[in-house]
Amino acid sequence: MTQHGGFAALEAWRSRVEGTVALVPTMGALHEGHRQLIARAKQVADAVAVSVFVNPLQFGPDEDFDRYPRDLEADLAICRTDNVDFVFAPTLDEMYPREPQVTVSAGRMGTVFEGAARPGHFDGVLTVVTKLFHLARPDTAVFGQKDAQQLALVERLVTDLDLGVRIDAVPIVRDHDGLALSSRNRYLSAAERATALALPAAIDAARSEQSATEAQDAARRTLANAERQHPEFSVDYATLVERATFAECPPGFRGDAVLVIAARVGATRLIDNATLSFV
């Protein structure tokens, strides 16, 4: 039975039961991608906790904090259906009773790609994740691979600060047309959604190439064609990076790399990625 009782409910459970806890941190607007995270959490722990909190620290002044989709009742219904044990839906005052003066820095990795497009974004992400880890004290935290840079930074956070939480990564969940599931997809009109399919098309183009350079070039050509055909579509970046550092892959790179893509379709910014191997 899902308990919407805050972190105290989890502590009460711990006092009665000796078991492991998996945390699924979310900003709500739950969709099938989140449900896959919940399913994974149920596989790896005795109890599953889902947090629902739209974190203002990771939004810039011109971003969509106010219009970010919020539907707590729908989120709770999904959690009940999926047999989540605990739901944390703290208010802004509960998470930040006063303006925080001490926050977590994402370092150099937090200033490139999404960090360059959204200055301070990853500092806000890592700050709220650290708070959630301390409040929930999970054994495992489950994140999706769709936010590849965020995942890499959370893994580095746990390692660098010795937080003692195991990070479990779940592959990207895609809709029937190939678009990666995202809460922001609901902003897209039918025409914009069709245009957004250039992102998974670019990944498919990259997969067909043998070398890192050719793969990156193929992805960029696909996206450039979409830009020419659709004035509402603009590419921010499409780059192969080394997963552990998010440094750009040098010419002749061999091994596993992540193709990261970001683009705007109208007023909506979308990201996608894929892990590619080069021998």
Q: Which of helix, strand or coil describes residue 167?
A: strand
- Whole-number Å distance between alpha carbons of 51 and 129: 10
Angle at 8 between CA 26 and CA 76, to 5 degrees: 40
- Annotated catalytic residue, options 34, 134, 176, 230: 34
- Whole-number Å distance between alpha carbons of 180 and 185: 9
At residue 202, what is the residue type?
A
- Whole-number Å distance between alpha carbons of 73 and 106: 33
Strands, sheet with 140-144, edge to edge from the N-terminal-most edge strand: 86-88, 47-52, 21-26, 140-144, 166-170
- Whole-number Å distance between alpha carbons of 84 and 215: 40
* Catalytic residue flag (residue 134): no
| Contact predicate 41/142, CB 8 Å | yes
Q: Which two tokens stand for residue 77?
A: 């219904």
User: Strands 255-265 and 233-241, how do they pair?
Assistant: antiparallel
| Contact predicate 236/227, CB 8 Å | no
The owner of tokens 């990076």 is: 241
Phi, psi of 78 (to 5 degrees): -65, -40
**Hey, which bits of the chain come out as E strands?**
21-26, 47-52, 86-88, 140-144, 166-170, 233-241, 255-265, 268-278
Catalytic sites, residue numbers:
34
